[in-house]
Chains A and B, each alone.
Chain A
């Protein structure tokens, strides 16, 4: 049977300019309920989220812990299967064409995540092989990319465990860029960094934005970072995307002078305030 909906969606997704097309995306998790014997609890991590990213665009998604930001990133990274809706990356469905999507995507998350006894060069080397890059191809490229992110060359062969968090996060950025992703997913890349490292990482994201053909989805709970780096800012609250527009438009729409107040107006609560339910949601989302 000819499915008009699917054909239309495919046409929209593959049209020049659309990098990511997310429609009614839904994800829920079930966990054992310790309060009820044999019981299960279900939490909706993403509740019908829809948006599109244009090619080359940088979009920030703002949300508190447990709002569903990481779930969204993990769905686009093909690490989760959605319970409903669809996500298409450069014309490839994240479920049925997951390998094609994986070739196009890389990410940096809040935890740098490396084999800690191995050096930066070793960690980048084996990771590049997973993307089909030979030792000959990475021989010069790894030192060059580490230099670009401001990583000192004399520490290239030092175990990762000896490096500061800021240094590790720079190596994480280098790992992501090494594979030339056309979609870069940044999941709170500066959380927990000292102010200087944070500025350096943000500066590098700006450089990627201007010099690379990469579309960037930045999930953060840093309002200033979102406004400084992204062309459009989305508000994700309890799994629902309440808005996605330029920061100025958000302030105008909610008639507020700051983004923080716009967030409050959209969600009905303070940005930093987290309720008990959010702690609970964080485990799931």
Chain B
């Protein structure tokens, strides 16, 4: 029993080490992060302005609600991008710096290693997504959200993050298998996930086969839940229809992500790809 507690403690300390390392790196590269944030704001603005453009060209729509809908889609897109970026960096950045061999030969279990990476990604992603939302909604567009329930929206995003991390774990093995192009495939996963999930439009406008895929995408329920909370003022009690699928997908995707990563790691060890030069 004592040995088990000691092992668990060491694992938690190790996961904390991953968070600590990412904190140091974020601190050291903070101005690059600011520049990247400016890019994200610009990208989000181009999307939200579409609603104003439609109105200007004679279209009839509730501009405030449409802009809020688009903004939520863009913020979730940016948030997912941050999570995937951090998880993909599990391998890619370490390979670039040359630390990959030291990290992978440490006694920290891969599950806790990836968990540490995921926890930091969620914390950092939530801060960035909150800033992005506030800057665009209140500074640029002065959007009105009289019914907004921010806490339930936050909870839905947090629960969805578990599934996102599971999918991110599966993606993060790609730079192990293909050091040159693996990282870019993360963007493919991010785009594919969001296109079927109604990022800027209702899922009902998609072809039927895409709607079927939407049912297993956590982003579908995240977007639906957050929009319900912000636009319609839905509370946690009325959001169960979005939360339980997210929990189920999370329970499946995290072990699956770990399994896929373990297979990728075995492949890399077999073929000598677990090293700096690939």
Q: Which of A96-139 contact B (CB under 8 A)?
A: 99, 102-103, 105-107, 109, 111, 113-118, 122, 125-134
Q: A276 to nearest B CB, angstroms?
A: 20
A199 beta carbon closer than 8 Å to chain B: no
Closest-CB distance, B19 to chain A (whole angstroms): 9
Given contacts A113-B98, A113-B102, contact A79 B269 (CB under 8 A): yes
* B124: interface (CB < 8 Å): no
Q: Nearest chain A CB to B21's CB is how many angstroms away? A: 4
Chain A residues with CB below 8 A from B107, complex form: 99, 102-103, 130-132
In the bound complex, CA of A127 to CA of B100 (Å): 12
Mark interface residues in B82-101 (1 if CB within 8 Å of A CB, else 0).
00000000000000011101
Question: Would you give the shortest CB distance from B26 to chain A, in whole angstroms?
Answer: 11
With known contacts A127-B106, A134-B13, A159-B28, A115–B270 Cβ distance under 8 A = no
Q: Which one of B13, B28, B104 contacts A132 once the chains associate, using CB atoms below 8 Å?
A: B13
Question: Does A264 have its Cβ within 8 Å of any Cβ on chain B?
Answer: no
Chain A residue numbers with a CB within 8 Å of B9 are 132
CA distance A106 to B107 in the complex (A): 10
In the complex the two chains form, is B101's CB within 8 Å of A77's CB? yes
Interface of B is mostly: helix
In the assembled complex, the CB of B271 is this many whole angstroms from the nearest CB of chain A, namely: 7
Query: Do B105 and A129 touch (CB < 8 A)?
Result: no
Given the complex, which residues of B lie within 8 Å of A127, measured CB to CB? 17, 102, 106
Q: Are B270 and A81 interface neighbours, CB within 8 A? A: yes
Is there a chain B Cβ closer than 8 Å to A29's Cβ? yes
- Chain A residues lying within 8 Å of B104, measured Cβ to Cβ, are 79
Is A74 within 8 A of B275, CB to CB? yes
A128 to B21, CA, bound (A): 11
Closest Cβ of chain B to A283, distance in Å, is 9
- Size of the B side of the interface (Cβ < 8 Å), in residues, is 34
Q: Cα distance A159–B28 when bound, in Å?
A: 9
Looking at the complex, which one of B97, B106, B266 makes contact with A114 (CB distance below 8 Å)?
B97
Instruction: Judge if A12 is at the interface, Cβ distance under 8 Å.
Output: no
Q: How many residues of A contact B (CB 8 A)?
A: 37
Name which residue of chain B comes closest to A111, CB basis. Answer: B98
- Asked, given contacts A77-B105, A134-B13, whether A113 binds B271 with beta carbons under 8 Å apart, the answer is no
* Contact B109–A99 (Cβ < 8 Å): yes
Is B272 close to A, CB under 8 A?
A: yes
Which A30-77 residues have a C-beta within 8 angstroms of B?
Answer: 30, 71, 74, 77
Chain A proximity of B188: nearest CB distance (Å): 23
B97 touches A284 (CB 8 A): no
How many residue pairs bridge A and B at CB < 8 Å? 102
Tell me if B24 is interfacial: C-beta within 8 Å of chain A.
yes
A contact residues around B271 at 8 Å (CB)? 29-30
Once bound together, how far apart are the Cα atoms of A218 and B107, in whole Å? 22
Do B14 and A130 touch (CB < 8 A)?
A: yes
A81 and B102 in contact, given A99-B107, A111-B276 (Cβ under 8 angstroms): no
Contact at B274–A79, with CB atoms within 8 Å?
Answer: yes
Given known A-B contacts A107-B105, A284-B272, A130 and B99 have beta carbons under 8 A apart: no
Provide the residues of chain B in CB contact with A134, threshold 8 Å.
13
Q: A74 contacts which chain B residues (CB < 8 A)?
A: 101, 272, 275
Whether A115 contacts B103 by the Cβ 8 Å rule is no
Least Cβ–Cβ distance between B16 and chain A, in angstroms: 6
A78 to B14, CA, bound (A): 18
- Asked if B29 is an interface residue, CB under 8 A from chain A, the answer is yes
A133 to B10, CA, bound (A): 7
A124 vs B18: C-alpha distance when bound (angstroms): 12
- Which residue of B99, B105, B275 has the most chain A CB atoms within 10 A of its CB atom? B105
B20 within 8 A of A: yes
Inter-chain contacts of A132 with B (CB < 8 A): 9-11, 13-14, 107
- Chain A's closest residue to B20 (CB) is A126
Taking a contact as CB atoms under 8 Å apart, the answer to whether B101 and A126 are in contact is: no
Residue B139, interface by CB 8 Å = no
Known: A80-B269, A81-B270, A122-B24. A129 touches B17 (CB 8 A): yes
Q: A113-B98, A126-B20, A175-B102 are in contact. List 5 more A-B contacts (CB 8 A).
A: A79-B104, A103-B107, A113-B101, A115-B99, A129-B16
Q: Which residues of A contact B (CB under 8 A)?
A: 29-30, 71, 74, 77-81, 99, 102-103, 105-107, 109, 111, 113-118, 122, 125-134, 159, 175, 284
Which positions in B face A, CB cutoff 8 Å?
Answer: 9-11, 13-14, 16-18, 20-21, 24-25, 28-29, 97-99, 101-109, 266, 269-272, 274-276
In the A-B complex, list the 5 residue pairs whose CB atoms are closest, starting with the nearest: A129-B17, A132-B10, A113-B98, A130-B106, A126-B21
16 interchain pairs (CB within 8 A)?
Answer: A80-B272, A81-B269, A102-B107, A106-B105, A107-B102, A111-B98, A114-B98, A114-B99, A115-B24, A116-B97, A118-B24, A129-B13, A130-B18, A130-B107, A132-B107, A133-B13
